[in-house]
Chains A and B, each alone.
Chain A
Amino acid sequence: MANSTPVMEAIDQTIESKRRPPSDVITEWVSTVDHKKIGIMYIVYALIFLLIAGVEAIIMRIQLAVPNNDFVSPQVFNRMFTMHGTTMVFFVGIPVLFGYGNYLVPLMIGARDMAFPRLNAFGFWISAFGGLLLYFSFFGGDGLYGAGSAPDVGWFAYAPLTAKVFSPGNNTDYWTLGVLLSGIGTTATALNTVTTVISMRCRGMTMGRLPLFTWLMLITSSMIFVVVSPLTAAQIMLILDRYLGSHFFDTQAGGSAVLWMHFFWIFGHPEVYVLVLPAFGFVNEIIPVFSRKAAFGYPAMVAASAGIGFVSLSVWAHHMFTVGLGPAGNTFFVFSTMVISVPTGIKIFNWLGTLWGGKIIFTVPMLFCIAFLFQFLVAGLTGIMLAAAPFDWQLGNSYFVVAHFHYVLVGAIVFGLFAAFYYWYPKITGRMMSETLGKWHFWLFVIGFHLCFDFMHIPGLLGMPRRIYTYEASRGWETLNLIVSVGAIFQGVAVLILVYNLVRSYYRGEKAGRDPWDAWTLEWAVPSPPPVYNFAIDPSVNSRRPLWDLKHPEEPDSDYE
């Protein structure tokens, strides 16, 4: 520095000041491109929306607890079920699963980050903006009074109810744009995940050795390319209809209501699998660890999951059995829908095979996984009932359907997610969650879940349609609805316990260490929480269970592959 000029010194200082690490926490999080921080942001953001959508669910269940109730007006009720569904699918389900994907995939495959870190940050922020925009609708229009102008067209937004003539004002636009933005974010993250898994694996991490969660994120992400694009196209067409005078879905001008259904369900049905496959991934990681057994039939698990992903693209019209597709159309979609139960069955049997002969340890994550197995079994069986088209003519759009898909979305996906919270929390924060509070959470939620969704099947069989804000006392639905509402409140309380546990354990949880569960995948090889660079030296693996090989050199897995 002795012979440097003042000008050069100034330049050096500027460079130095630019290089200075972000000093405050907000800048650090807002500007981060670290896959772990982005993953955490996704999870926290989804949790916030989970609480909001949960409140909406409770409002609906209070309204329906007794017949002829006037707790909320019909329009507010319609807004509640629209926002509940939209939020749960687009701003809870996808973000939280991608949050875990973001956090775990690079760690599991021995990479230092995602393939495109900045695209990753972009994906998160644009999704988050979509959520904010959707909820800003509560302040739009007539403001908070009368719940603002929040969308009231249902999460499925069937044409032509969304046409300008039937839905004046801006609420449908909030819905369209909010969902459109979240779709862009989802596609970006999906692209990133696929690229990361394909090109960033460490030495020895062949496709045949990928952890099952990573496999499922890969399949899910590949599906997203195919299924989110039609939704995005439909959103744009709807905007064109509403503002530029096109008539795709405007039936008053000769447009087609059924066209929207096709577009929507080509997205909407595979979406169920987009959500459930990562949940399968959680269970695939957790059950082996707490059974102390390698996953049974790994190749079949992968093939079945890919099969589910593939077949799910051809089942969308089973949401349309009552549209008048005719016998040929109905028969095709009966077949494709029923076929999907075969790979799904294989997965359940393989989980059974993993449990068989194991030493099952009932930690909180394992409890959630076991409940998942039973509930997913029931969800699959009611799915077969709905696949039988003539049975569906009766059950479709009734409360039976609401019960069925909540069995999938809550009984399977949310239970898988809760298991993941408890299982990976020590890795993410370095501290264990309280098992006692976890058991309270589990039991309250299980009881609430069964009170709510078991009994919800029956009003459907008794002719109760969904999306009605009230009903007459004379139909024999009232006791059942009261039980369902009580169950919903149980689940709400259980989630509050979870949130308390998450916050409390962050400050007062027991220190976790590297590998508290004696697990086998690579993320447990790094400190908890992992450093920014993940792995100090690039790892190299020889089998599907690299840490098993380290701990049991006398009987390495690699001998069996």
Chain B
Amino acid sequence: MLSSLHLRSILLPCILSLTAGAALGQSATSIFSPAASPAQWEYGLSMLVLSVTLVIFLVVGGLLLYAVIRFRQRPEDSEREPPQIYGSEQIELSWTVIPILIVVMLFLSTTRVILETEAAAKPASALDVTVIGHQFWWEFRYPKYGVVTANELHVPMSDPARPTPTYLAMSSADVSHSFWVPRLAGKMDVIPNRLNTMWIDPWAPGLYLGQCAQYCGTQHAKMLLRVYAQSPADFAAWIKQQQQPADQDLSNNSAAAEGRTVFMHSACINCHTITGTPATGRFGPDLTHLASRDTIASGPVQNTAENLRKWIDNPDSMKPGVLMPSMHLNDHDLDVITAYLTTLH
């Protein structure tokens, strides 16, 4: 029975690492598959720290295991107490000095990565994006391009020859949040009355998932985050498209035109902006190019007409605790507003 305790203390880390290894390949948010420099450097440091701590675990754990097995009381033992040892200065000094050396080594490696990341020079080619955290969604503003979007951040990929990192200047409109896309970088808190910055330089195009990592109230769980890294050409095209007015001439689409009227005459416009219309609210996500996004409700729901209608009808049923109220619209109004919103490409 005792040996199974020892067996477990050996076996468990092995099972753990095997399971972890298997799981790592499948997760879109694994910190062990970095796709940008900060995440890469953090990964490098984590490998160093993991190897050092693994060695310490094996050595100290092994000694403990040996002591427990070797020095257990056996039936054939004499009644006498074992010889008493009250201490040994040399031994105690050695297990003080060696840990100090290990600590100094780890400290220096850590400091280097901190400086590399936090004190990196900002190239002139960097893209600036303002990130604003809200309960429970993200606002992204591109000051240079006059583009505002929500929940889905588009950034250009950065190749080493011509680096175009994205610098995120972050603050919060209400409570504290935390911006975390594990494959791109570690998290950075998004705090009211405080401007934090971080940068990312995705190497490969694609979708990188993340989510808010600071408890921010009832719906913290569904404050998801999507980063689309695009080739410079695709990114330029996306910016161009976002700069176009989305509110089109709707004279040949009567349902959408009616939906626009209903929208503009309801309380929706107090919270939402649609550029070029009377809707200029800032409390909720900017809807100017809503139909160009893949998801609604800050990530958990696919952006389809059906989901959008359900969402407008009763947001709380899809995301309990969301701050968007149900507008108590009738079926007809729901249909036409949905028709209008799906035209906002």
Contact = CB atoms under 8 A, between A and B. Distances in A.
A326 B115 CA distance: 9
Interface string A454-480: 110110011111111111101111011
Contact of A463 (B29, B64, B111): B29
Size category of the binding interface on chain A: 35 or more
B237 interface: no
Contact of B95 (A257, A345, A450, A560): A345
Given A257-B194, A324-B196, A373-B64, A360 B72 contact: yes
B28 interface: yes
Nearest to A460: B31
Nearest to A344: B99
A298 B86 contact: yes
Interface string B164-183: 00000000001110101010
A377 interface: yes
A293 interface: yes
B50 interface: yes
Given A391-B49, A455-B19, A397 B213 contact: yes
A455 B15 CA distance: 9
Contacts of A293: 82, 84-85
B2 interface: yes
A341 interface: yes
A297 B5 contact: no
Contacts of B213: 322, 396-398, 465
Contact of A348 (B20, B60, B68, B73): B60
Contacts of A341: 99, 103
Contacts of B50: 385
B178 A346 contact: no
A145 interface: no
A323 B189 contact: yes
B27 A560 contact: no
Nearest to A297: B87
A14 interface: no
Nearest to A392: B186
Interface stretch (B39-47, B123-131, B281-289): B39-47
Given A297-B87, A480-B19, A377 B57 contact: yes
Contacts of A254: 193
B214 to A, nearest CB: 6
Interface string A151-165: 010100011110000
B205 interface: no
A496 interface: no
Contacts of A469: 221
Nearest to B63: A352
A170 interface: no
Contacts of B96: 342, 345-346
A394 B23 contact: no
B191 A388 contact: no
Interface string A325-369: 011001100110011011001101110110111111110000100
B215 A467 contact: yes
B270 interface: no
Of A357, A367, A443, A557, most buried by chain B (CB within 10 Å of CB) is: A357
A163 to B, nearest CB: 8
B9 interface: yes
B82 A358 contact: yes
Nearest to A396: B187
Given A465-B211, A560-B86, A334 B107 contact: yes
Contact of A397 (B13, B92, B187, B321): B187
Contact of B87 (A299, A359, A465): A299
Nearest to B195: A324
Of A252, A292, A349, most buried by chain B (CB within 10 Å of CB) is: A349
Nearest to B182: A463
Interface string A428-455: 0000000000010001001000100011
Nearest to A458: B20
A374 B178 CA distance: 34
A243 interface: no
A33 interface: no
A297 B91 CA distance: 10
Contacts of B197: 324
B185 interface: yes
Interface in B5-22: 5, 8-9, 12-13, 15-16, 19-20
A322 B187 contact: yes
26 contacts: A78-B215, A158-B176, A257-B175, A292-B81, A292-B82, A296-B86, A300-B92, A327-B119, A331-B114, A342-B100, A349-B60, A353-B87, A355-B64, A358-B82, A374-B64, A381-B57, A382-B53, A390-B45, A391-B45, A393-B187, A394-B39, A394-B187, A463-B30, A465-B212, A479-B23, A480-B23
Given A251-B192, A339-B103, A560-B84, 8 more contacts: A73-B320, A293-B82, A384-B52, A388-B106, A390-B45, A390-B113, A462-B23, A477-B27
- Nearest first, the 5 closest Cβ-Cβ pairs linking A and B are A393-B186, A463-B29, A468-B221, A476-B27, A297-B87
